[in-house]
């Protein structure tokens, strides 16, 4: 069980731990953001095309007219 401490001590500990965090640079953040956006675009395009192909295949299997 964790020992109880007063709120002031807790906030001091939070501040100490936050100062230990290594924050990414602006360049690292920008590169990561761009990479995530590109992956979202590629994944969206892939699933859109896959959905169109499977939809077309299903319509052929079911004999429905396009």
Q: Domain count of the chain?
A: 1
In a domain? residue 9: no
pLDDT of residue 20: 93
pLDDT of residue 35: 98
**Residue 1: pLDDT band by 50, 70, 90 thresholds?**
very low
Domain, as residue range, for 46: 26-66
In a domain? residue 42: yes
pLDDT tens-digit profile of 7-64? 898 899 999 999 999 999 999 999 999 999 999 999 999 999 999 999 999 999 998 6
In a domain? residue 13: no
63 φ/ψ sector (left φ>0, alpha ψ -120 to 50, else beta) = left
In a domain? residue 48: yes
Can you count the helices (H) and strands (E) in the chain? 2, 0
Q: Which two tokens stand for residue 15?
A: 């501040």
In a domain? residue 12: no
In a domain? residue 58: yes
In a domain? residue 52: yes
pLDDT of residue 3: 62
Residue with tokens 């100062």: 19
pLDDT of residue 41: 99
């Amino acid at each position: 069980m964790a020992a109880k401490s007063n709120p002031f001590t807790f906030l001091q500990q939070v501040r100490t731990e936050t100062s230990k965090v290594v924050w990414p640079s602006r360049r690292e953040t920008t590169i990561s953001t761009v990479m995530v956006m590109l992956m979202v675009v590629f994944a969206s395009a892939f699933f859109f095309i896959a959905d169109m192909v499977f939809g077309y295949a299903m319509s052929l299997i079911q004999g429905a007219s396009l």
